[in-house]
Amino acid sequence: MKTRARLYFYSIAGFVTGIFALIGIQYTTNVNVENLINGNEELVKQYKMSSSLAELESDLLFIENRIKLAVITGDSTLITRFGPRIAEIRKDENLLEKYSDTVNLADVRRLNRLVNQRIVFNNRLINSFYHADRATTQRLMADVSAGKLGDSISALVEKIDTSGKVVLAQKIRSVDSNGQKVQRWNQFLAGLVILLMAGIFVLIINRMKKQTSLIDKLNESEKRLKAAALVKENFLANMSHEIRTPLNAILGYTQLLQKKQLDADTGFQIKTIRQSGETLLSVVNDILDLSKIESGMIRIEDAPFSLSELVHSITAMFDQKVEEKGLLLTTTLAANIPDILDGDAARLTQILVNLIGNAVKFTDTGEIVLGITGQQLDTNHIKVSFQVTDTGIGIDEEKLETIFERFRQAEDSTTRKFGGTGLGLSIARDLVHLQHGSIAIKSKYDAGTTVTVSIPYRISENQNDPARPDTAGEVSDFKSRLRVLIVEDNVINQGLMSRLMNELEVESKLAGNGKEAVEILQHENFDLVFMDIQMPEMDGYQATREIRNTLKLNVPIIAMTAHAMAGQREKCISSGMNEHLAKPVMESDLQNVFETFTGRKVSLKTQVLEAEPDDYKVIDLKYVREISHGDQDYERMAAGQFLDLVPDELASLQKAFDEQNTVLLKRIAHNLKSTVSVMGLDPVLRKDLDTLVYEDADRERQQEMINRVTTVCREALEETQAFFDHIQD
């Protein structure tokens, strides 16, 4: 800080000193230049005076000679037209008197008198020439006084000219002196300017060096920040995967347990476990959403969606909770709102689910109303307002100003009684603002709450898309089977998804990659599409864009990914997909997806049997048995596929590494993740396989991970073979 202040002081002092120096130099230079100009003017005057003296003497001599010649020859023509000459003499006299400041004025005036006398004498000669005889004229011309007059004029002219030359020499010396002074000061000024420019140049160079150093430090800091953000993303991704996976298992098994015949105490305990798991999952989702918003990972998409279908799917999500609490959930949709709008349906769903969820949570009796109105902005845009009104506990008016703050609820007792993180409204507000909308809340304690969200949308050009499936008819006809397209290149996952769909009594069709899926969708209709991401020929992102942009289909597309990476869901949504599921896919996840996007509740057709205890150290049969529901034919098929595929994939993985084919190595590792998950190896191999797929590790580290994967898989193959032989018998 002191160094910077000292630098500023020296800079200002140098600047002020330079300014005063320039002013002094400029003043001195101006004085010398003015003296130089004055000296030059005096030189010009002296030159003109000398010239006038010479011309004056020349004109007088010319007139005298012409008169003498005329007297001698008697030729009168020689003495005509003397007027211009006399005028020139008068002019020279005036100039001499004008420039007399450089010579003696008395000499100039005496010269003028002598010249006038000479002119008078010449006029007498001319008159005598014309009116007297020649002898008289010659005597007059030979007058001694006339000769003395001419000599006096010549002597006086020489005197004046000599004194002028003396003054001229002095002026020349003065001009030379002033010129030299000006030159010296100019040289000094040039040197000073060069010195100042050099100083400024050095200062600029030093400043640029410091700035470059600061930029380098900033870039390094930015790299560290990005690295920290990447660590945070990876942590959140791993955390979300590590937490969601056991939570989904807890929720799935509690859901299965609730279907069994249980005594009252056990039923209550199972219900409590499920509610606690749902609460914990909600908290995890809120924290992850908040982290994504803070890191700028949330992207607002602009894709066509049906407002009526979206509202129907949202209200269907709350049917069970509303029914359990004895509430009434009603929806009103203004007729002036076009059905197909362009915007981010996923974010709107998240906002409304949050608001309606709060209304259901804090309302014990009465009703909840979702009112939707529209305000036309122009021919292509409309502002849609969503008003959620409940008859719940309400909020004190003084608490409304802080209700949108993070981790803030109206009362501390609210958290203890109803749970939650206090992030829901904050996340909803941020999502609304990201869509250039507004959110407002009105409430009164013990009298209910009204939250109004207004978001502008573009009106879609196609309001009657014939390619969009008639979901309304399907919702009303509960006897018709749902039909889905499964886009998956992994054989084991194909069998797994087909098995799950069969258990849920849903008709399914398989496509081996995105290209096949696009071709199938050109000719067939489906209620849902389950889309894998990494596939040969055409991946899930490109296939989704083809379905949306080329085929113009609005069929719901659900992404299936093998890793819950931070931003993975957003990337899927941005490409046109509707939702995202992490592998391995659970039955409960599928049931939620069907209920959300079709309005249909699907359930298992097979009762869950108690699984035999496992004595295996590597493989975990819980997942395959949850899917099989005791069907040993499916278990044999899954184990057989595992035994057939894993050795080939391990060999291909090592070959890709040996050939340094990074792209192929990542693809095989990704495919292997799906293959090993069916036998419960995902927790054991996830870290190594994720690193091979998503990171660019050095070759030594890659070989170490491949060796670990190979070792685990070989042990798993032995145990799977034992399991296969056991169920084969």
pLDDT of residue 517: 94
What's phi and psi for 458, nearest 5 deg? Answer: -90, 135
pLDDT of residue 249: 65
Tell whether the model's pLDDT for residue 407 goes beyond 50: no
pLDDT of residue 553: 87
pLDDT digits (tens, 9 = 90+) for 427-451: 888 889 889 999 998 888 878 899 9
Comparing 284 with 653, which gets the higher pLDDT? 653
Comparing 729 with 441, which gets the higher pLDDT? 441
Q: Note whether 493 and 532 are within 8 A (CB).
A: yes
Whole-angstrom Cα distance, residue 193 to residue 463?
74
The pair of structure tokens assigned to 379 is 């021919």
Comparing 504 with 49, which gets the higher pLDDT? 504
3-state secondary structure of 439: strand
pLDDT of residue 257: 75
pLDDT of residue 88: 65
Using only C-alpha atoms, the chain has a radius of gyration, in whole angstroms, of 54
Whole-angstrom Cα distance, residue 315 to residue 424?
18
Whole-angstrom Cα distance, residue 458 to residue 343?
7
Residues 510-517 have a mean pLDDT of 92
Whole-angstrom Cα distance, residue 157 to residue 145?
18
Residues in the chain: 729
Q: pLDDT tier at 509 (50, 70, 90 boundaries)? A: very high
Residues 569-576 have a mean pLDDT of 76
Distances in whole angstroms, Cα of residue 240 to Cα of each of 228, 248, 281, 285: 18, 11, 10, 8
Q: Note whether 424 and 361 are within 8 A (CB).
A: no
Bridge partners (DSSP) listed for residue 333 = 372
pLDDT of residue 469: 39
Would residue 462 be called left, alpha or beta, if left means φ above 0 and alpha means ψ between -120 and 50 degrees?
beta
Bridge partners (DSSP) listed for residue 456 = 383
Tell whether the model's pLDDT for residue 8 goes beyond 80: no
Pairing label, strands 483-487, 328-333: unpaired
Reported in sequence order, the residue ranges of 287-326 that DSSP labels E, i.e. its strands, are 303-306
Q: pLDDT tier at 312 (50, 70, 90 boundaries)? A: confident
pLDDT digits (tens, 9 = 90+) for 237-279: 556 556 666 776 677 667 667 767 778 778 778 877 876 777 6
pLDDT of residue 418: 44
Share of the chain above pLDDT 70, in %: 68
**Mean pLDDT, the chain, whole residue set:** 76
Q: pLDDT tier at 583 (50, 70, 90 boundaries)? A: confident
In three state form, how does the secondary structure of 448-512 look? Answer: CEEEEEEEEEEECCCCCCCCCCCHHHHHHCCCCCCEEEEECCCHHHHHHHHHHHHHCCCEEEEEC
Task: Tell me the whole-structure pTM to 2 decimals.
Answer: 0.38
pLDDT digits (tens, 9 = 90+) for 594-644: 888 887 777 765 544 444 556 788 888 887 777 776 777 778 888 888 888
pLDDT of residue 519: 93
For the chain, how far is it from start to end, CA to CA, in angstroms?
Answer: 84
Residues 516-522 have a mean pLDDT of 93
pLDDT of residue 478: 33
Whole-angstrom Cα distance, residue 658 to residue 646?
18
DSSP-derived letter for residue 177 is H
pLDDT digits (tens, 9 = 90+) for 11-43: 676 667 767 766 766 676 676 667 667 666 666
pLDDT of residue 479: 36
**Residue of 521, 523, 539 lying closest to 531 (CA atoms):** 539
Q: What is the residue-wise DSSP string for 1-35?
A: -HHHHHHHHHHHHHHHHHHHHHHHHHHHHHHHHHH
pLDDT of residue 387: 95
Residues 483-507 have a mean pLDDT of 86
Whole-angstrom Cα distance, residue 254 to residue 395?
35
Tell whether the model's pLDDT for residue 79 goes beyond 90: no
Tell whether the model's pLDDT for residue 54 goes beyond 50: yes
Whole-angstrom Cα distance, residue 708 to residue 688?
8
The pair of structure tokens assigned to 81 is 């037209």
pLDDT of residue 475: 34
3-state secondary structure of 196: helix
Q: Taking the CB of residue 624, how many other CB atoms lie within 10 A of it?
A: 24
3-state secondary structure of 716: helix
List the single range of 136-145, 569-578, 619-628 with lowest mean pLDDT.
136-145
3-state secondary structure of 331: strand
Q: What is the residue-wise DSSP string for 338-381?
A: -SEEEE-HHHHHHHHHHHHHHHHHT-SSSEEEEEEEEEE-SSSE
List the single range of 66-75, 77-86, 366-375 with lowest mean pLDDT.
77-86
Q: Note whether 341 and 463 are within 8 A (CB).
A: no
- Per-range mean pLDDT, top range of 99-108, 123-132, 401-410, 674-683: 674-683
pLDDT of residue 392: 87
- Cα torsion angle, 418, 423, 426, 430, sign: negative
Task: State the Cα angle at 593 between 589 and 597, rounded to 5°.
Answer: 175
The pair of structure tokens assigned to 522 is 């050109």
Comparing 488 with 179, which gets the higher pLDDT? 488
- Per-range mean pLDDT, top range of 137-141, 189-193, 390-394: 390-394
Residues 228-235 have a mean pLDDT of 65
Tell whether the model's pLDDT for residue 59 goes beyond 90: no
Residues 704-721 have a mean pLDDT of 89
Tell whether the model's pLDDT for residue 506 goes beyond 80: yes
**Residue of 387, 634, 680, 348 lying closest to 502 (CA atoms):** 634
Q: pLDDT tier at 402 (50, 70, 90 boundaries)? A: low
Q: Note whether 586 and 561 are within 8 A (CB).
A: no
For tokens 């004029």, the residue is: 153
Bridge partners (DSSP) listed for residue 329 = 368
In three state form, how does the secondary structure of 397-437 look? Answer: HHHHHHCCCCCCCCCHHHHHHHCCCCCHHHHHHHHHHHCCC
DSSP-derived letter for residue 548 is I
- 23 Cβ contact partners less than 8 Å away, ≥ 6 residues apart: none
pLDDT of residue 466: 33
